[in-house]
């Protein structure tokens, strides 16, 4: 049977192809500049061929798993709304439950990752994801609700355990700090590519297996990732201290309250991600309003946005933006440009201005993730990084719940205005963080040592 493709409008196809073309050109330019020595690394020592080979091997070990888990995550995200719609259940309650769970239970569980082990945290995440995707097969609201609760826990593990394992392992193996930016930038690029491919694959699988098809594919990918993770080495937050989650949580709280750099890093992270997740609930109705009754090919537009995210990851690299300014200074620009982009839908309902503003915003998202990832590695000690970031998932998820509920009460222009305020606040706090980091410019802080200084 021939596969019937949707009748996508020309504007959407052109937008996608142009963005793919631009991203390809930037990728080629980045590779060329890196090959010519334009890639700046923190080289107090000139790397030998063997050292660089070891790093690339380690980087592949992490990025292979990262690619698989992000592809599995995107597979679920593309069809979750339509699956729940086919079940005729309360969609809003399910989504809000997931975010609330992430704010409460995810934070508690996340505090134990640094003590129990980051590899163990990754394994627990993968097991929970399999269970959640199995639950999605049943049109049973209590079971789906339980799945969202578990999904909130797994989300916290996804965005803490894997990154902290990579950063800690990178330092344990003695690789230069500057090489972290390469891993973060590549991961952001891969995340965007994974999302593009996952969106297309989800459509193909859904065409053959129904709305549940992408979730079945996600189970297969999650099991595959588990096979790779079991061969990772374990690393811990504080091996020389009492292995109690409460001890790690206490250390994390102490660091947050006593070191304003850690507090500000967590705060700006929450403000940007809270704005981003609120945007996720708003772009579809905003685009529909701009199209004035014409069809919206959500899958293709989604793929276009994810292409922008990949573009942002490429732009972040040391041979591009990171070669011009530090991660902390770049973050200020990201907040301001993102806020400026979202002013467009406040004042315009025309298709092209709105679409272009969303393209700019998604590119900022692509820059933000590796930028803040590198910033976290600079500011937050390895021993408590997972715990600190899970604590800050509480305000993040509160912002998302507020943003989601506001879309039910106020017009999108009003909600966009509120998100702009969040982003401007983020820019202001980021400026304060830049100044705080500049105060101790003379002494190079190495977060691999536990933060006794900050206590």
451 in any annotated domain = no
Q: What is the Cα–Cα distance from 20 to 11, expressed in whole angstroms?
A: 14
Domain with 140 in it: what CATH number? 1.20.1250.20
Q: Would you state the pLDDT for residue 68?
A: 94
Lowest mean pLDDT among 44-58, 205-219, 374-388: 44-58
19 in any annotated domain = no
Q: Would you state the pLDDT for residue 344?
A: 96
* Residue 268 pLDDT > 90: yes
pTM of the model as a whole: 0.75
Most confident of 9-13, 304-308, 334-338, 393-397: 334-338
Going from the C-alpha of 322 to that of each of 112, 195, 231, 401, 446, the distances in angstroms are 33, 24, 33, 33, 19
Q: Are the C-beta atoms of 37 and 187 separated by less than 8 Å?
A: no
Binned at pLDDT 50, 70 and 90, residue 280 comes out as confident
Q: Percent of the chain at pLDDT above 90?
A: 31
12 in any annotated domain = no
28 in any annotated domain = no
* Span 385-412, average pLDDT: 81
Q: Would you state the pLDDT for residue 241?
A: 43
27 in any annotated domain = no
Q: Would you state the pLDDT for residue 133?
A: 94
Domain tally, the chain: 1
Q: What is the Cα–Cα distance from 434 to 168, expressed in whole angstroms?
A: 24
Q: Would you state the pLDDT for residue 188?
A: 76
* Residue 131 pLDDT > 90: yes
Residue 371's domain comprises: 53-439
Exposure of 346 by Cβ count < 10 A (0-12 exposed, 13-18 middle, 19+ buried)? middle
∠ CA 419-425-430, rounded to 5°: 125
* Span 89-108, average pLDDT: 77
14 in any annotated domain = no
279 in any annotated domain = yes
447 in any annotated domain = no
Q: What is the Cα–Cα distance from 375 to 382, expressed in whole angstroms?
A: 12
Q: Would you state the pLDDT for residue 217?
A: 92
* Residue 91 pLDDT > 90: no
* Span 203-215, average pLDDT: 82
């Amino acid at each position: 049977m021939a596969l019937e493709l949707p009748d996508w409008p020309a504007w959407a196809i052109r937008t996608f192809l142009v963005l793919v073309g631009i991203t390809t050109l930037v990728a080629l330019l980045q590779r060329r500049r890196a090959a010519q020595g334009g890639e700046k690394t923190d080289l107090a020592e000139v790397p030998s061929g063997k050292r660089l080979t070891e790093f690339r091997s380690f980087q592949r070990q992490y990025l292979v798993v990262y690619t698989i888990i992000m592809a599995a995550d995107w597979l679920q995200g593309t069809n979750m709304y339509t699956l729940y719609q086919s079940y005729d259940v309360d969609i809003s309650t399910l989504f809000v439950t997931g975010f609330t769970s992430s704010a409460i239970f995810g934070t508690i569980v996340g505090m134990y990752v640094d003590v129990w082990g980051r590899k163990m945290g990754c394994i627990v995440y993968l097991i929970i994801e399999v269970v959640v995707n199995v639950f999605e097969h049943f049109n049973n609201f209590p079971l789906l609700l339980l799945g969202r609760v578990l999904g909130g826990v797994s989300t916290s593990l996804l965005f803490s355990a894997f990154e902290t394992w990579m950063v800690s392992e990178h330092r344990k193996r003695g690789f230069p700090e500057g090489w972290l930016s390469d891993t973060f930038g590549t991961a952001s690029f891969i995340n965007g590519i994974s999302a593009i491919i996952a969106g297309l694959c989800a459509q193909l699988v859904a065409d053959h297996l129904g709305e549940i098809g992408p979730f079945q594919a996600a189970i297969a990918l999650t099991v595959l990732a588990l096979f790779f993770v079991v061969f990772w080495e374990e690393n811990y937050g504080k091996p020389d201290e009492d292995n109690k989650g409460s001890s790690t949580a206490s250390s994390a709280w102490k660091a947050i309250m006593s070191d304003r750099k850690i507090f500000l890093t967590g705060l700006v992270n929450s403000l940007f991600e809270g704005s981003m997740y609120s945007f996720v609930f708003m772009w579809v109705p905003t685009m529909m309003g701009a199209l004035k009754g014409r069809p919206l090919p959500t899958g293709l537009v989604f793929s276009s946005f994810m292409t922008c995210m990949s573009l942002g990851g490429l732009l972040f690299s040391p041979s591009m933006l990171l070669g011009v300014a530090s991660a902390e200074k770049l973050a200020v620009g990201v907040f301001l440009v993102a806020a400026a982009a979202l002013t467009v839908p406040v004042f315009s309902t025309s298709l092209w201005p709105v679409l272009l503003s969303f393209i700019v915003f998604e590119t900022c998202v692509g820059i933000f993730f590796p930028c803040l990832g590198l910033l976290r590695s600079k500011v937050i000690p390895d021993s408590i990084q997972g715990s600190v970031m899970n604590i800050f998932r509480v305000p993040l998820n509160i912002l998302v719940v507020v943003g989601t509920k506001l879309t039910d009460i106020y017009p999108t222009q009003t909600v966009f205005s509120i998100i702009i305020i969040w982003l401007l606040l983020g820019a202001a706090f980021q400026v304060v963080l830049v100044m705080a980091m500049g105060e101790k410019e003379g002494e190079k802080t190495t977060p691999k040592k536990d933060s006794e200084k900050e206590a």
